[in-house]
Amino acid sequence: MGAGDGALARMRRTLQRHGRGGWLRAVFARPGGTDERVIDGPGTGSPAAEDAIAALLAAATAAAKDGLVKQTLVLDERRRVQVDARHGAGKLVERDDATLDKQMGGKQRALRPDTSAELLRVVGIMNADGTISAKHAKKYKQVSHFVELCRPIWDALRLRREPGAPVRVLDLGCGNGVLTFVIAEALRLQGLPARIVGVDLREDVIARAQARAEQLGWDELRFVRTAIADVADARALLEGTPDLVVALHACDTATDDALALAIAADVPAILAAPCCQHELAAQLGPAAVPIPAMARHGLLRNDYAATLTDAVRVEALAACGYGVDLLEFVADTHTPKNLLIRALSRDGRSTDRADLDALARRCDALGVRPRLLQLLSALR
């Protein structure tokens, strides 16, 4: 069903009436489709709103004629006007506490849809019209859970940092940077200034992440294209020793490179979510497993090798003076790679070489040579 002249006239009157006080953005979409057009507004309470209305009405009319009849005028982070151009009538929708509670799944979350709206939109969790679709609701809950897992890190760093000094974060294998931005927002909400560098080998994801940082105007974020193993000087990247090294789903031994870098740089906090632990699976023979079938069958061998790899990482971190927690990163119904290693350096942290040597002997007895132990051995 298209929009007739009468409906278009009503639509324009509706938009003109509500737009007089200014608006943040207008969103034109096709019902049930992914086609969407967004134009920025002059801002709420802007004196330029009257002048901008003519352009708004022209854009809305053109969009309606192209079939984008689901139109939303976002007045501010709590109010929006929804208009169906096929009829021209509109309604004012306010994101009240009940609506917010529903969007947050009945829980109080650090990243609220009103106070963190800009961040949630830029990383693709929130739609331009201020809604969170069912498709993105799962991701919203996951990143909110991640912020809660980070809370002990913020509490510890708050006590250890010099007053006024930024929290320096190095995100290794940052990918498209969604969680890098989430960390930046979480620190902002905690009132902690930050300096954050994301590192990844792929040029396209680094370019996309940098563009998002510029869109948000977050000068404290910077993204660099390089391999984790090639990060020669973490202090130079951040103009000081990192307070936190993050490696979330860095593939296989890239996690070991990140952990070794953090230990060598005497970083007080580490967050790692290991992924694709293939290294030890290729080394496991019949003598290295408690039951022969674990060596014969690939699924069993890979699961055992992944557990063994992460157990070595936990023991190595403990031997290097860190207190380590193992947490469920995301529910295993979403991904089997759901382990998060959270490590905080103990007071007066030092490396116990005897413990590292004992760990190396255990691995030798199994016939495996984990990369992390090789990297730590080179630090002697």
Dihedral pair phi/psi, residue 302, rounded to 5°: -65, -40
Calculate mean pLDDT across residues 284-309.
88
Interval 351-376: pLDDT, tens: 899 999 999 999 998 889 999 999 99
Q: What is the CB-side half-sphere exposure of residue 285 using CA atoms within 13 A?
A: 8
How far is 81 from 64, CA to CA, in rounded Å? 16
Listed in sequence order, the residues at least 6 apart from 150 whose beta carbon sits closer than 8 Å to its beta carbon are 183, 186, 271
pLDDT in tens, 238-264: 888 899 999 998 888 889 999 999 999
Q: Which SS3 state, helix, strand or coil, does residue 73 take?
A: strand
Question: Is pLDDT above 50 for 334?
Answer: no
- What angle do helix axes 298-319 and 254-264 make, rounded to 10 degrees? 0
Distance (Å, whole) CA 249 – CA 348? 30
Q: Residue 350 carries which side chain, given as an amino acid letter?
A: S
CA distance 26 to 129: 8
Percent of the chain with pLDDT over 70: 96
Q: What is the pTM of this model?
A: 0.84
Mean pLDDT of 191-212: 93
State residue 380's pLDDT score.
65
Mean pLDDT of 44-49: 82
Every domain of the chain and the residues it spans: 5-94, 137-377
Adjacent-strand bridge partners of 341: 272, 326
Domain 137-377 has CATH 3.40.50.150: yes
